[in-house]
Structures are given as C-alpha cells and as structure tokens.
A and B are shown apart, each in its own frame.
Chain A
Amino acid sequence: MKPADNPALADDRVSPLWHAVPWLLAIAFYFMAAGYHSLGTSILVYILLTLSLDLALGYAGIITLGHAAFFGFGAYAAALFAIHVYSEPVTGIIVATVATGIFAALTGMLILHTQGVTLLMLTLAISILLAEWANRAHTITGGEDGLRVTMGYVLGLFRFDLWGRVAYLYALAVLFVWFLAAWSIVHSPFGRSLDGIRQSPARMRAIGTPVWWRLVAIYALSGAMAGTAGALSAQTTRFVGLNTLHVLISGIAVVMLVLGGTKRLYGAFIGATIYVVVQDIAAKINPFYWMFVIGGLLMATVMFLEGGLMEVLDIVRRRFRQLFARVKS
C-alpha cells in the first residue's frame, strides 16, 4: 500500500515494530506486576469494550451511548450459560459473543434507519429498557443482588487461580483475537466504506453503497465485541450485576475512546489504561470525585485535544522523527 494511501488510516505509517510494543508491555505486566493482575484484567476488558466502540463510533460514525446494553448482555449471557448449561469459559465466551451479536443485529436493524440525535436517543432507550428488564426479571438475573458464577477450567486445562494470573492471560488472548479481527476490518474495503459512510452517507449512497446493511453489520460486530468484553468481565470476576447495564458504562466507554483517540485502534489501549488507573485511585478518595474527573477529562479532550492522546503521541513521534533526521544530517 502506498504510504499516504489514506490520511485517515494513519496507523499505516507506523513501522511494524511499534505494533509489538503494547503486547510486549502486556506480557511484561503479567510477569512483573504481582498482586495487580485483577486490575490488569479489568484494563484488558475495558480495552476490548473501547475497541468495540471505536469500530461503531470512531470508524462508522454511529453515535451511540447504548453500548452498555451489549456489555451487560454479554456479561449476563456468559454468567447464565455457565450457571445453567456449561461452565467452561471458552465455550461460554463464544456463546455470549454470538448471542450479543444477534441482539445487536436485531436492535441495529430497528434503529439504524435514523441518524443523529434520534439515533442517539434510541440507543439510550434500548440500554435503559434492557436495564429495566434485568432489574425486574430478578429470578433470572438476580436483580439487585446480581449473580455469582463459578467457572470451570479453561479448555478443561487451566484453573482460574485466586490471584487472577490465569484470568489475565485468558483475557489477553481473547483481546488479541478480537484485535486481529478489528485490524483486518479497519484496513479492508469494508472498513473504508464505513469510513466513507461516516464522512458522507449521501456520497456513499450516490455510489451505490447499501448504507443501512453496512451499518447493521458493523453495529452487530461492535455489539458482539462489547458482549465479549462483558462476558470476560463476568467470567474473570465471577460476578455479574446490574451495573454492567448502566448507562455509566456507555459513558465510561466513550471517555476511554475519546481520551485515547478515535480511529486509532491503539488509542483504546491508552484510554482504557488511563481511565482504569485514574478511577482506581480517585475512587478511593471519593466515589463521586472520579465522575467529576472523567467528565472534566471528556470536556477538556473535546476542547483541546481533538485527536485524543494518540494524536499527542503522533505529534511527539513526528517531532522525534524530525529531530532524528536533523541529527543524522
């Protein structure tokens, strides 16, 4: 591919070595961060959630505040599957992912003929309705109390240990698989057409793109991915509660995405890490303090840092390259 192929897909200009960095860091974390593995796992879960939102919102331009519905759906699906059917985690993740994907496809078909504020409102509405239902259907969902889950051995071989080390590697593997999928989607003609739809649905219609179908497809994929994140959360913490369906999850996902930078898959890594760390620290001080910080971060990022922190990284990288070039000559 030519270098300046599409300025919008800036990741193309990154040399392959840089791609290994986040993964190496993640593996290093496993070995070095004793006692912090459950924190690490929650970072991985949130990276996956943020990635899913990047596909729908960052690339396809579907402005949604309803991704909590998919996170929670996946979480409850995985928990219920483990409790009532079969407690092996990988099977559970596959079932939960597919179920959430179907749910996302159905709701997408219902609402994606609208746009803008109407669409936004409908995504919120679906999320709230699902949370309502989960609250009422407490015989199934455990209601306010939630559900405790006991997981079986991963692939029948690996037990989730008490320190969360196996869970961490498990989550990392799942994230890696979805990351590969997201990467190939984004760099494919399908991904480009979604980017086109985001920029100008009218232009895409004028070249014969079946816009609605494409949007439903990516919404379903994004929902499935968010469902996986929820399932991971349920399986690794062995608990699922109503908070997984709360609109706050959608808000947090948006904050993480914007902080890291939209349309930069690795932005999800940065955004999620910062968020989880900040939240962990700030929540110890005051439960509502973190809401203030997050809201403030969101506003500040929109005001000053339109490309998120990945944009800052890009600027830094460019400066380094210029510096390097000058030093060489």
Chain B
Amino acid sequence: MQTAVVILLDGLAYGMVLFIISVGLTVTMGLMRVVNLAHGAFAMAGGYVAAVLVGAGMPFFAALAVGTVAAGLLGGLSEIVIFRPLYRKGELAQVLMTFGMVFVTIAGLTFFFGTDIKRLPTPDYLSGLVDLGFRMYPAYRLFLIAVGALLAIGLWYLIEGSLYGARLRAAVDNPRMARAVGIDVNRLFTITFIGGCALAGFGGIIGADMLPLEPFYALRYLVPFLVIVAVGGNGSFKGSFVAAITLGVLDTAGKFLVPGIAPYLFFGLVFIILLLRPHGLWPAKGAG
C-alpha cells in the first residue's frame, strides 16, 4: 500500500513534467499541423540556460524565469526562420528538418558542455524530505505535482475561458472558417508556438530532476512526447493531460513492479489504444 502511494506520487510528478513539456507540442501540432521532432530541444534549451545561470549564482526561481523566456524567444526565432517555410512543404520536409535540428542540438551541446549530465540544483528549501506519515518523501516531487496541477488549471482557464483560448480552439477546429471570421491565424500560430516552447523550457527546467539534462535529451524523450500527442489526440489539451499522467504513472509503476518487461507492457498498451483509436483518445475534429 505504501509502495503504491509512492509509485503514484512519483508517477504523477513524472507525468506532470511530461505534460508541461508536451502540451505545447500537442497544441502546435494540432493548430499548425506542423510536425516538430525538435520540441524536446526547447525544453533542453531552457534547462541548460537555467543550469548555467544557477551555476553562476543566480537564484533558482530567477533562473527559471529567464530560462523560460529564453526558450520562448528561441521558439519565436525558430518559428520565423525555420518553421514558416515548412508549413507548405509537407510532413516529410518537417520531419526531416526537425530531425536535423535534433542532431545539430546534440552536437552543439556536446561541444559546449560535454556528454555528462548537466546538473541543475534545486533550491534548498525545496530539496528536503516531507513526512507523509508512513514514510519520508522528496519535497521537490510534491512541488512538481503542485506546479503541474496549477499550470493545468491555469491553462484550462486560458483555453476554455479566455478570448485567446476561444480563438485558438476555433483555429484548431477550422482554420479557414476562423480566418473568415477575422481571426489572424498566423499571428495566433506564432504566439502559440512561442508559448508552447516557453512552456517546454519551463518544464525542462523544473523537471531536470526527473529528466536529466544531457545532449541526447531531445532524442531520448522524443518517443514519450510523441506518444503523449498520439495517444492524447492531436491538439487536445485534455488528451495531453490524461495521456501524460497515465504514461507517467504506468511507466513508473512498470519500472518498479515488473522492470524486465515494463517497456514492452507499456508499448503494448500504446499499440492497443492506437489500434482501437488510431487518432488518439480525443481526436482532432475532422479526423477519426
């Protein structure tokens, strides 16, 4: 019973990090219908920036803010220089380009930082242990769960309750109609892309404990990010949340309880879900 709670908490924390990073990807893929295999690179960029700053003495939360902004800016730059020409070039070109970006980031980061894990020390007041009653548990993980939940709620309000969110949902459902009623879909793309990359950076920074920063990061976690998008459904905020949490908990549970066959069990489940629902649990309108 106690182990179950720990697994659940660990899984939730992991899932929250995955959610924070992936939600940007699922929204941009659903909205812009652009495949971005390099999404993890933005998470990584935020992480490395924050790690360098913290290493130079900046307080954690300040570095968190700067790193998030840096990831967002990098996203904006990429959108203008790399992604705009890619929109009309088709899926294959996008896959190839962003895959090339992954290679370039791995090589670049190795050049500057070497192949070891880049440590991002968390602030002392969060790094302790909390007494859960039956055992001690890392406070940072609880912090991750809380941040993730708050962010999820905040994003939910943003998407469901705000004008921006309404425009976003309209543009995802039907870009032509959205343009016809005067929504500037291109600007919406850019803002959303920047937001998604900033979120990824945020997730990369606070999640550095569970997803260690190293040059192969973008490649190593590519499949989990894509699984979340595919299982959750392209463009679905709800879907990415459910998929991320489920993936986090199941993966953690699997690694703990049946370490030998955990990856196969996990992917077996993913295959089955996709066999029954090829477009994900909450498919984009017009699919499925």
Q: Do chains A and B touch in the complex (CB under 8 A)?
A: yes
A124 contact from B82, B103, B223, B280, Cβ within 8 A: B223
Interface flags for B210-236 (1: CB within 8 Å of A; 0: not) read: 000000000100110011011000100
Q: Are B101 and A295 in contact (CB under 8 A)?
A: yes
**Which residues of A have CB within 8 Å of B99?**
65, 251, 254, 298
- Is residue A118 within 8 Å, beta carbon to beta carbon, of the partner chain? yes
Given A117-B229, A125-B223, residue A302 in contact with residue B100 (CB < 8 A): yes
Q: Are B278 and A113 in contact (CB under 8 A)?
A: yes
Rounded to whole angstroms, the CA-CA distance of A147 and B48 in the bound complex is: 38
Rounded to whole angstroms, the CA-CA distance of A288 and B264 in the bound complex is: 31
B278 contact from A114, A120, A132, A294, Cβ within 8 A: A114
Given A136-B260, A299-B97, A306-B93, residue A292 in contact with residue B222 (CB < 8 A): no
Shortest beta-carbon distance, A192 to chain B, in Å? Answer: 19
Q: Are A117 and B226 in contact (CB under 8 A)?
A: yes
The total of chain A residues at the interface (CB under 8 A) is 40
Interface residues of A in 26-83 (CB under 8 A from B): 57, 61, 63, 65
Given A120-B226, A254-B96, A303-B85, residue A113 in contact with residue B275 (CB < 8 A): yes
Rounded to whole angstroms, the CA-CA distance of A113 and B288 in the bound complex is: 12
Main secondary structure of the interface of A (DSSP, over half): helix
Rounded to whole angstroms, the CA-CA distance of A329 and B93 in the bound complex is: 42
A121 contact from B82, B92, B100, B230, Cβ within 8 A: B230
B104 contact from A113, A292, A306, Cβ within 8 A: A292
- Is residue A256 within 8 Å, beta carbon to beta carbon, of the partner chain? no
Q: Are A125 and B260 in contact (CB under 8 A)?
A: no
Interface residues of B in 83-126 (CB under 8 A from A): 85, 89, 91-93, 95-97, 99-104, 106-108, 110-111
**Which residues of B have CB within 8 Å of A288?**
106-107, 110-111
Q: Are A129 and B85 in contact (CB under 8 A)?
A: no
Nearest-CB residue, chain A, relative to B85: A303
Rounded to whole angstroms, the CA-CA distance of A57 and B85 in the bound complex is: 22
Rounded to whole angstroms, the CA-CA distance of A251 and B219 in the bound complex is: 11
Shortest beta-carbon distance, B169 to chain A, in Å? Answer: 21
- Is residue A102 within 8 Å, beta carbon to beta carbon, of the partner chain? no
- Is residue A95 within 8 Å, beta carbon to beta carbon, of the partner chain? no
- Is residue B271 within 8 Å, beta carbon to beta carbon, of the partner chain? yes
Interface flags for A270-293 (1: CB within 8 Å of B; 0: not) read: 000000000000000000110110
- Is residue A216 within 8 Å, beta carbon to beta carbon, of the partner chain? no
**Which residues of A have CB within 8 Å of B101?**
295, 299
Most chain A C-beta atoms within 10 Å of own C-beta, residue among B96, B97, B230: B96
Nearest-CB residue, chain A, relative to B86: A302
Rounded to whole angstroms, the CA-CA distance of A277 and B70 in the bound complex is: 37
**Which residues of A have CB within 8 Å of B271?**
110-111, 122
Interface residues of A in 230-286 (CB under 8 A from B): 247, 251, 254-255, 258
Q: Are B97 and A303 in contact (CB under 8 A)?
A: yes
**Which residues of A have CB within 8 Å of B91?**
63, 116
Given A124-B222, A125-B270, A302-B97, residue A251 in contact with residue B103 (CB < 8 A): yes
A118 contact from B100, B103, B260, B278, Cβ within 8 A: B278
Shortest beta-carbon distance, B232 to chain A, in Å? Answer: 11
- Is residue A128 within 8 Å, beta carbon to beta carbon, of the partner chain? yes
Shortest beta-carbon distance, B161 to chain A, in Å? Answer: 29
Rounded to whole angstroms, the CA-CA distance of A133 and B97 in the bound complex is: 30
Q: Are A258 and B226 in contact (CB under 8 A)?
A: no
Rounded to whole angstroms, the CA-CA distance of A294 and B108 in the bound complex is: 12
- Is residue B274 within 8 Å, beta carbon to beta carbon, of the partner chain? yes
Q: Are B35 and A117 in contact (CB under 8 A)?
A: yes
Shortest beta-carbon distance, B116 to chain A, in Å? Answer: 13
Shortest beta-carbon distance, B157 to chain A, in Å? Answer: 28
Q: Are A291 and B106 in contact (CB under 8 A)?
A: yes
Rounded to whole angstroms, the CA-CA distance of A306 and B92 in the bound complex is: 11
**Which residues of B have CB within 8 Å of A129?**
263-264, 267
Shortest beta-carbon distance, A289 to chain B, in Å? Answer: 7
- Is residue B20 within 8 Å, beta carbon to beta carbon, of the partner chain? no
Most chain A C-beta atoms within 10 Å of own C-beta, residue among B107, B222, B270: B107
- Is residue A296 within 8 Å, beta carbon to beta carbon, of the partner chain? yes
Q: Are B85 and A295 in contact (CB under 8 A)?
A: no
- Is residue B29 within 8 Å, beta carbon to beta carbon, of the partner chain? yes
A292 contact from B93, B108, B260, Cβ within 8 A: B108
Shortest beta-carbon distance, A300 to chain B, in Å? Answer: 8
Q: Are A247 and B219 in contact (CB under 8 A)?
A: yes
Rounded to whole angstroms, the CA-CA distance of A117 and B36 in the bound complex is: 9
User: 10 tightest A-B contacts by CB?
Assistant: A295-B103, A298-B100, A292-B107, A121-B226, A295-B104, A299-B100, A291-B107, A118-B230, A288-B110, A295-B100
Measured CB to CB, the residues of A under 8 A from B are 57, 61, 63, 65, 110-111, 113-118, 120-122, 124-125, 128-129, 132, 136, 247, 251, 254-255, 258, 288-289, 291-292, 294-299, 301-303, 306
A sample of 18 cross-chain residue pairs with beta-carbon separation below 8 angstroms, ordered by A number, consists of A57-B92, A110-B271, A116-B91, A117-B29, A117-B35, A117-B234, A121-B226, A121-B227, A122-B271, A128-B263, A136-B260, A251-B99, A291-B103, A292-B108, A295-B103, A296-B104, A299-B100, A299-B104
Apart from A110-B271, A117-B230, A125-B223: 11 A-B pairs, beta carbons within 8 A: A61-B92, A113-B275, A114-B274, A114-B278, A117-B29, A121-B223, A288-B111, A291-B110, A292-B103, A295-B100, A298-B100
Measured CB to CB, the residues of B under 8 A from A are 29, 35, 82, 85, 89, 91-93, 95-97, 99-104, 106-108, 110-111, 219, 222-223, 226-227, 229-230, 234, 260, 263-264, 267, 270-271, 274-275, 278-280
